[in-house]
Structure 1
Amino acid sequence: MTRLPPRARKALLTLHLVTALGWLGADLVLLTLGVAGLRGADPAAVYPAAALVGTWLFAPLSVAVWLVGVASSLLTPWGLLRYRWVLVKLLLTTVMTGLVLFLLTPKLRLLGELAGAASAHDMVDLVVAPSVSSALLVVATVLSTYKPWGRLRRSGGR
């Protein structure tokens, strides 16, 4: 397996951090918009803004984080299936990206079109989804920092 030299590895890690922080930031913006909607802010402003954030920031950043994370694991000594914490992060990110692309983004677009006609259930969803997502992104960050659980299997290398 090809390994990146240290400088390129640091550049890839930096890209991963920047995209992940962007994803968390977009998540927190969606949460803020969701709370504003529940608290009575103008739905004609809140939900179209949420649709824009979801479509142009949240969804692309989720894909970027997944792609850069996979590239990082394949091109560094951590490996994709070598350590449990990497596998858990991969599973979390894969599930979250799928939910963002196939459930949340279409729902945000619909809410943007409906604006003032959003149901109470839809309004609550715009608070719950980014709350859960933000929590899972923090869990992924903790896994990256502490690297718990050790190796999945014995293999050569690091």
Structure 2
Amino acid sequence: MQAPVSGRRKEPGRAGENDRIIRILLAAFALLAVVTTVSLGVDSGRGPIGDTGLVFYPPAAVGHAILAHYYGRPWARPVLVVTESILVPLQFVLSIPSNLPLLGMLLSGMIAVLLKPRFPQLSPRSRKLFLWLHVGLSVSWLGLSMAMLVLSLVGQFTDDRVLGHDAYRIMHLFDLVIVIPMVFLAIVSGLVVSLGTKWGLIRNKWVLTKLILSLAIPSVAGFQHHWISRLTERTADGATTDPGGLAPVLTLCMAGYAVILWTATALSVWKPWGKTRWGRRAIEARRGRPGGAAPSAGDTAALRAVAEGPAV
């Protein structure tokens, strides 16, 4: 059973500064949504995903402007927690025709972190289910990154015009049909496992590092998608065997993805570096006792279990 956090008090100055930052980020998102709407509106080749963004961003701009004005009201925080949690993965998908949603995804993620939402703990059965999903999806993501690296190398170095074009076509197909859903589901399942257990999202250095590494890939994916499309067009009809200077850039990007995902896998296995300052504060808050009473031996064992987290 989770101990109540009763000994922790908010510092007014810090809370006020946090609220100001959230208001600034909300206003920045509203402005970015307007810019994204204009950018998609003048792009004749935006496609169906771009059309979806063109419908989505105008009300998002108005909604975030309203939330920036009324933030601090009791209803604003829960609305923001739900909204930004949905917008982070949604904007990853919307970034296919334009890179601007990647910046919106970053702003939504920063707002979500500053809100410090609390989520109910998963039951043991649910934790195992989501952990199973997360491990399977993460391993699949790693496998896809290795396959994309091999295809990129083939496209860059082959002398066979048809083979080079087909390699980039397969990469384009993988990117749209398999990779994007896999990345989305792997990140979401990881968030559920982190937020629904004692590990938390920012309490342990290895979890926070893994989150940053995982979000770094979608942050570049919008550019990478356009690179693959250009290389597919450039090598169409066997017009040339030279994909140009963009090919090594794409290969380097795919190699970077593989290194990041192997690093994230190592972090999941070894769990290094201990607690962050937020994790240490949470432990100190749980150790607080009214009247300065010392914790019992049983309480000490329970606190040690909380500090170590559940075995994953």
Structure 1 length-normalised TM: 0.90
Unpaired segments of 5 or more residues in structure 2?
Answer: 1-118, 287-302, 307-312
User: Between Structure 1 and Structure 2, whose CA radius of gyration is higher?
Assistant: 2
Deviation at 1:115, TM superposition (A): 2.7
Aligned equivalents of 2:227 and 2:189: distance in 1?
26
Aligned to 2:180: 59
**Letter in structure 2 aligned against 1:49:** I
Cα distance, 1:115–1:55 mapped onto 2, change above 3 Å: farther
Aligned to 1:6: 124
Aligned to 2:263: 139
Aligned to 2:134: 16
Percentage identity across paired residues of the two chains: 29
Tell me the alpha carbon deviations over residues 36-70 of structure 1, each in whole angstroms, 9 at most, x when there is no partner: 12231422211111111112122221222211111
Aligned equivalents of 1:55 and 1:108: distance in 2?
11
Aligned length: 157
Q: Is the 8 A contact 1:51 1:111 kept in 2?
A: no
Equivalent residue in structure 1 for 2:230, among 85, 110, 115: 110
Q: Is the 8 A contact 2:227 2:250 kept in 1?
A: no
Aligned equivalents of 2:235 and 2:193: distance in 1?
40
Unpaired segments of 5 or more residues in structure 1?
Answer: none
Q: Is the 8 A contact 1:48 1:115 kept in 2?
A: no
Tell me the alpha carbon deviations over residues 112-151 of structure 1, each in whole angstroms, 9 at most, x when there is no partner: 2333456332221232111111111011111111111111
Bigger Cα displacement from structure 2, 64-73 vs 112-121: 112-121
**Structure ranking higher on relative contact order (CA contacts 8 Å, 6+ apart):** 1
Q: Give the 5 Å matches for 1:31-110.
A: 31-40=149-158, 41=160, 42-100=163-221, 102-110=222-230
Cα RMSD, aligned residues only: 1.7
Aligned equivalents of 2:215 and 2:139: distance in 1?
17
**Letter in structure 2 aligned against 1:111:** L
Structure 2 length-normalised TM: 0.47
Secondary structure of the 2:272 match is: coil
Q: Is the 8 A contact 1:66 1:93 kept in 2?
A: yes
Tell me the alpha carbon deviations over residues 54-110 of structure 1, each in whole angstroms, 9 at most, x when there is no partner: 12122221222211111111001100111111110111111112212x211222223
Q: Does 1:121 align with 2:245?
A: yes
Q: Is the 8 A contact 2:169 2:232 kept in 1?
A: yes
